[in-house]
Amino acid sequence: MKIVAIMGSPRRGGNSDIMLDAFLSPRDSLHSLEWIVPSRLNLGFCRGCRFCEAMGRCILRDDMDEVGEKLLEADKVVLSSPVFFYGFPASLKALVDRAQVFWSRKYKMGEKFKPKEGFLLAVGATSGGKLFEGIVLTTRYFFDAWGCEYRGGLFFRGFDQKGAIGECQECLEEIKEAGRSFLSSKNS
Ligand SMILES: Cc1cc2nc3c(=O)[nH]c(=O)nc-3n(C[C@H](O)[C@H](O)[C@H](O)COP(=O)(O)O)c2cc1C
């Protein structure tokens, strides 16, 4: 089984990183693991040019070529991200917008992608009831564009300082349990 982990925060060693490590810790060592860290990649912004709708590929040539291969080959995907202004950090959002090429291939050209399953881990500093609504919607539609079914998420409010979630043993246990269950289940 191929697992792909997307680390959405530009802050390495922060809360999203810690959540992702905890989630992946129960995985079977036989499973392959690929990392995608958008803030470390050379990813241009989607130009909205619609070249992909006509041609089935993006007009830009950069690290998205490799990211796309990883996404399409995955069986399980876990995305971990902080909330930035009720959305995703810009580097992750750049990647999400570039998935428009898969949306075009799927919905304009009728291509069928290998089915995958995806999980979201998200963290924010405040406690608002709607804190995660934006990124859940974006995640659902981002996943869907390349044949990945959204299987749920875990959401943590009130964590702001770098690594603060690492002090919450209850949170880490909950994340590990979700990882164990998600990564050990067969894709439906
Ligand atoms: C640019 C920026 C925007 C943010 N916007 C929000 C926000 O809208 N709501 C919120 O609750 N926290 C917001 N935060 C706080 C982060 O979500 C929080 O610090 C999170 O724990 C960071 O996770 P990380 O350590 O993985 O980067 C923002 C932080 C930054 C740097």
How many domains are there within the chain?
Answer: 1
Q: What is the CATH number of the domain that holds 95?
A: 3.40.50.360
Can you tell me which atom of ligand 1 is nearest the CA of 128? 11
**How far is it, in rounded angstroms, from Cα 73 to Cα 113?**
9
Judged against a pLDDT cut of 90, whether residue 188 lies above it is answered with no
- Which pLDDT does position 19 carry in this prediction? 98
pLDDT for the residue numbered 186 = 87
* Nearest atom of ligand 1 to the alpha carbon of 85: 8
Spatial contact of 75 and 187, defined as CB atoms under 8 Å apart:
yes
Centre of ligand 1 to C-alpha 87, Å, is: 10
9, 61 Cβ separation under 8 angstroms: no
Range of the domain at 65: 2-184
Q: Please tell me the distance between residue 81's alpha carbon and the centre of ligand 1 in angstroms.
A: 9
User: Which pTM was predicted?
Assistant: 0.98
Q: What is the pLDDT of residue 33?
A: 97
Instruction: Find the residues whose C-beta lies inside 6 A of ligand 1.
Output: 9, 11, 14-16, 82-86, 123-126, 131, 159-160, 162
Asked if the model's pLDDT at residue 150 lies above 90, the reply is yes
pLDDT tens per residue, range 120-143: 999 999 999 999 999 999 999 999
Tens digit of pLDDT for each residue in 166-175? 999 999 999 9
Mean pLDDT score, 91-96? 98
Mean pLDDT (the chain, rounded): 97
Q: Measured in angstroms, how far is the CA atom of residue 156 from the centroid of ligand 1?
A: 11
* % residues pLDDT > 90 (the chain): 96
Predicted local distance difference test score (pLDDT) of residue 171: 98
